[in-house]
Amino acid sequence: MINASKFVNGIILFFVLIAGCVREDPQVQSRNASVKDMTTPEIIAQRTAVPGTPGKFSLTSPAFKQGDLIPSKYTCDGEDISPQLFWGTAPDGTKTIALIVDDPDARAGVFTHWVLFNLPANKTDLPEGVPKINRLEGGGIQGKNDFGRIGYNGPCPPKRHTYRFIVYALAVELNLKPGAARQEVLKAMEGQVLSKTELDGKYGK
């Protein structure tokens, strides 16, 4: 007859040996942990980020915030000069910058207040009161607005309208002359827009 205590000890030893066999090797555990870490949000973000991505391309102005009222200084009721604008670093591959300011609420359709194109790709802002001339010092050509004038002319509506300031990063230099109309510029930009950023303001009686 088998001694009971030896039988119990044998069973215990058997399970200890089994546990030792199935215990995962530390190196295997380490490798598995590394693979698991690669799925964490931080690592995923690093893997999917584009190297060399430039700074944020976003249009702002110290004169007014998105959706706010445009100060009368920049309208026909004031000095009628252009506001200061900042848009930051354009995307890689940008050759020129273009700017269009318009009023989509005009009774007869979209009314153009400013057309400016072929600004240098490394330009990140415009000062207040851009001169109303054909060619800007340092680069940039101005088109004709719907007042029939070169450069910027501000809001002058009978009631409150929304005004869109839109900056485009383009992959080409536009082959257009000073005085080009908004539609000519939009046509020339087709298929060449790398990115765009918009700032909207409101003005009216």
The parent domain of residue 24 ranges over 4-48
Per-residue pLDDT, 38: 29
13 and 82 housed in the same domain: no
Same domain, 93 and 180: yes
The reply to whether 76 falls in a domain is yes
Measured CA to CA, the distance from residue 121 to residue 140 in angstroms comes to: 10
Average pLDDT estimate for 191-205:
95
CB burial of residue 42 (10 Å; 0-12, 13-18, 19+): exposed
> Residue 117, SS3?
strand
| pLDDT tens by residue, 63-79 | 999 999 999 999 999 99
For residue 125, tell me if it sits in a domain: yes
Q: Which helix H or strand E contains 119, and what residues bound it? A: strand 111-120
- Render pLDDT for 95-121 as a digit per residue (tens, 0 to 9): 999 999 999 999 999 999 999 999 999
Do 35 and 126 fall within a single domain?
Answer: no
Residue 55 lies in a domain: no
One domain, residues 121 and 197: yes
103 and 41 in a common domain: no
Q: Are residues 141 and 179 in the same domain?
A: yes
pLDDT 10s digits, 4-50: 454 445 554 444 444 444 344 444 333 333 333 322 222 222 222 23
pLDDT at 80 over 80: yes
Lowest-confidence pick of 13-22, 43-52, 124-133, 161-170: 43-52
Whichever domain contains 163, its CATH number is: 3.90.280.10
- CA 15 – CA 27 distance, rounded (Å): 24
Cα 42 to Cα 31, 48, 118, 140, distances in angstroms: 19, 10, 39, 42
Q: Pick from 152, 115, 158, 107: which is nearest to 131 by CA?
A: 152
196: pLDDT strictly greater than 80: yes
Q: Are residues 19 and 86 in the same domain?
A: no
Helix (H, G, I), strand (E, B) or coil at 40: coil
Q: Is the domain of 133 the same as that of 174?
A: yes
Per the structure, how many domains does the chain have?
2
For residues 101 and 192, membership in a common domain is answered with: yes
In eight-state DSSP terms, residue 167 is E
Instruction: Report pTM.
Output: 0.73
- Residues 93, 44 share a domain: no
- Burial (Cβ within 10 Å: 0-12, 13-18, ≥19) of residue 38: exposed
Q: Please indicate, yes or no, if residue 57 is contained in any of the structural domains.
A: no
Across the range 170-189, mean pLDDT stands at 98
| Same domain assignment for residues 136 and 170 | yes
The answer to whether residue 58 scores a pLDDT higher than 90 is yes
- Same domain for 165 and 100? yes
Specify the range with the lowest mean pLDDT, choosing from 26-40, 79-93, 166-180. 26-40
